[in-house]
C-alpha cells in the first residue's frame, strides 16, 4: 500500500492573459488560503527575474504578503537563488519573516540565477562566479542563523538563533550530493527538469549524513498537476501548461493562455518531443486518474512529500484542481 504523504504547492504568481502582476499576486493569495483550508503542508514561491509574466521576483516580499493573509500553512521559498544575494541579507530577511510569522517560514535554496545570463550579470555585477561559492554560502547562512554566531563580529538581527528550516533545491544530480553532505531536506524540480530526478534522489539517499536539522533523508518532488472532473476536461485545461512550455522553448513567452481544443497549431514534432521530455512528471486527469498515477509515482520513487505546480488559466478551476488532488491523495 502506498504511504500517505504531505501535500504542498508551488506558486510563481504567473500572469494570465488579460491579467497583470496585481491579479497574479491576488490569485497566489487565493491559492494559499484555499489550500490552507484543505490541509496542505506548505506553499512556496519561486525567485525569477526579467520574466514579464511572472510576479515573484521579490520573493521574500511575496512570502511575507502570503503569510500575512494566511494563518497556519507554512510559507517559503522554492527557492531563493542564493548566489543572487549575500548570506547575511537572506539571514536578515528570513529572520524577519520568521519573527513575524513564527514556525511558518521555510528557506529553500538554489544555485541557479533564476533568469538569463545577461540579467544575472545585472544582479550579480562582478560576482558572476557566485554559483561556485554556493556550498560555502550555504554554510555561511547557516552560521548566521545559528546560536553559536553570538561571538561573531557580524551577526544577523533578526535571524540569529531562529529555527528556520533550510532546504536544498535541485534540478540535477549536483545538488543531491550537497543536500546529502549537509544533511538537509531535498526538493527536486521535476516539474520542469525531470531527466535526472530518480538518479538525484538515489544519490541523496545513499550519501545522506544526519545533521542537527535532519536525522534521515527527506525528499520532496515538485510535479505538475492538472486535475478536473473528467479526464477530457483536464486534457483541455492542460493545453495552457503545454503552451507555456512551448513559449519557453521557442522564446515566445506570453501570459498564461486560455485552454484550446488542440495543440496541433502550436507545435511541431521536434517541439512536442522537447515539451514531453520537460513535462514527464506531469499528472493530468480526473480524481481517479490522478490517484492511480500518483500512487504509482509515490511508490516507485519513495518520496516523502509531494509539491504541486498547477498552471491553469481559470482561477476557479485551478482551485478546484487543488481540491481534487487533495481528495485523490487522501484515497491512496
Full domain range(s) for residue 96: 7-225+299-310
In which element (H, E) is residue 144 found?
helix 134-145
Same domain, 147 and 31: yes
Domain assignment present for residue 1? The answer is no
Domain assignment present for residue 121? The answer is yes
**Domain containing 18 — which CATH number?**
3.20.20.30
Same domain, 214 and 196: yes
Q: pLDDT tens digits for 83-131? A: 999 999 999 999 999 999 999 999 999 998 777 888 778 888 777 677 7
Same domain, 150 and 254: no
Same domain, 98 and 130: yes
Q: How many angstroms separate the most distant Cα atoms in the chain? A: 64
Cα distances from 32 to residues 10, 25, 37, 80, 273, in angstroms, run: 10, 11, 9, 19, 33
pLDDT score at 68: 98
CB 294 within 8 A of CB 301: no
Looking at the structure of the chain, the number of domains it has is 2
pLDDT score at 132: 82
Domain assignment present for residue 2? The answer is no
**Half-sphere exposure at residue 52, Cβ-oriented, CA atoms within 13 angstroms:** 10
Same domain, 131 and 256: no
Q: What is the pLDDT tens value at each position of the chain, 332 positions in all?
A: 567 899 999 999 999 999 999 999 999 999 999 999 999 999 999 999 999 999 999 999 999 999 999 999 999 999 999 999 999 999 999 999 999 999 999 999 999 877 788 877 888 877 767 778 999 999 999 999 999 999 999 999 999 999 999 999 999 999 999 999 999 999 999 999 999 999 999 999 999 999 999 999 999 999 999 999 999 999 999 999 999 999 999 999 999 999 999 999 999 999 999 999 999 999 999 999 999 999 999 999 999 999 999 999 999 999 999 999 999 999 88
Domain assignment present for residue 135? The answer is yes
pLDDT score at 120: 79
Domain assignment present for residue 315? The answer is yes
Same domain, 111 and 16: yes
Q: What are the backbone angles phi and psi of residue 287, rounded to the nearest 5°?
A: -55, -45
Same domain, 203 and 252: no
Q: Which of 331, 307, 327, 311 is nearest to 9 (CA)?
A: 307
Domain assignment present for residue 11? The answer is yes
Domain assignment present for residue 25? The answer is yes
Same domain, 156 and 16: yes
Same domain, 79 and 195: yes
Task: Give me 86's grid cell.
Answer: 549575500
Same domain, 28 and 128: yes
- Rounded CA separation 87/94 (Å): 11
Same domain, 25 and 114: yes
- Rounded CA separation 45/169 (Å): 13
Domain assignment present for residue 59? The answer is yes
pLDDT score at 1: 53
- Rounded CA separation 24/78 (Å): 17
- Rounded CA separation 276/260 (Å): 18
Same domain, 257 and 212: no
Amino acid at each position: 500500500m502506498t504511504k500517505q504523504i504531505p501535500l504542498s504547492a508551488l506558486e510563481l504568481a504567473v500572469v494570465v492573459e488579460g491579467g497583470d502582476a496585481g491579479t497574479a499576486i491576488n490569485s497566489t493569495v487565493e491559492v494559499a488560503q484555499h489550500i490552507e483550508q484543505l490541509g496542505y503542508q506548505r506553499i512556496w514561491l519561486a525567485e525569477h527575474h526579467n520574466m514579464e509574466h511572472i510576479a515573484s521576483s521579490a520573493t521574500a516580499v511575496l512570502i511575507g504578503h502570503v503569510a500575512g493573509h494566511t494563518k497556519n500553512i507554512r510559507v517559503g521559498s522554492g527557492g531563493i537563488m542564493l548566489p543572487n544575494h549575500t548570506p547575511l541579507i537572506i539571514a536578515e530577511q528570513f529572520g524577519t519573516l520568521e519573527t513575524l510569522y513564527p514556525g511558518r517560514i521555510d528557506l529553500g535554496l538554489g544555485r541557479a540565477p533564476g533568469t538569463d545570463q545577461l540579467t544575472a550579470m545585472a544582479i550579480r555585477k562582478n560576482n558572476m562566479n557566485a554559483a561556485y561559492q554556493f556550498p560555502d554560502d550555504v554554510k555561511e547562512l547557516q552560521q548566521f542563523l545559528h546560536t553559536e554566531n553570538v561571538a561573531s563580529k557580524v551577526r544577523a538581527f533578526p535571524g540569529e538563533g531562529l529555527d528556520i528550516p533550510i532546504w536544498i533545491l535541485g534540478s540535477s544530480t549536483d545538488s543531491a550530493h550537497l543536500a546529502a553532505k549537509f544533511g538537509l531536506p531535498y526538493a527536486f524540480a521535476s516539474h520542469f527538469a525531470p531527466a535526472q530526478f530518480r538518479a538525484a534522489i538515489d544519490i541523496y539517499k545513499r550519501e545522506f549524513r544526519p545533521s542537527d536539522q535532519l536525522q534521515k533523508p527527506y525528499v520532496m518532488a515538485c510535479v505538475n498537476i492538472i486535475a478536473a472532473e473528467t479526464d477530457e476536461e483536464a486534457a483541455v485545461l492542460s493545453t495552457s501548461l503545454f503552451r507555456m512550455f512551448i513559449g519557453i522553448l521557442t522564446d515566445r513567452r506570453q501570459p498564461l493562455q486560455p485552454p484550446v481544443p488542440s495543440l496541433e497549431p502550436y507545435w511541431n514534432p521536434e517541439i512536442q518531443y522537447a515539451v514531453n521530455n520537460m513535462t514527464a512528471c506531469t499528472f493530468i486527469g480526473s480524481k481517479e486518474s490522478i490517484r492511480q498515477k500518483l500512487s504509482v509515482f509515490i511508490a516507485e520513487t519513495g518520496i516523502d512529500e509531494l509539491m504541486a505546480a498547477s498552471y491553469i488559466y481559470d482561477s476557479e478551476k485551478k482551485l478546484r484542481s487543488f481540491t481534487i488532488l487533495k481528495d485523490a491523495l487522501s484515497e491512496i
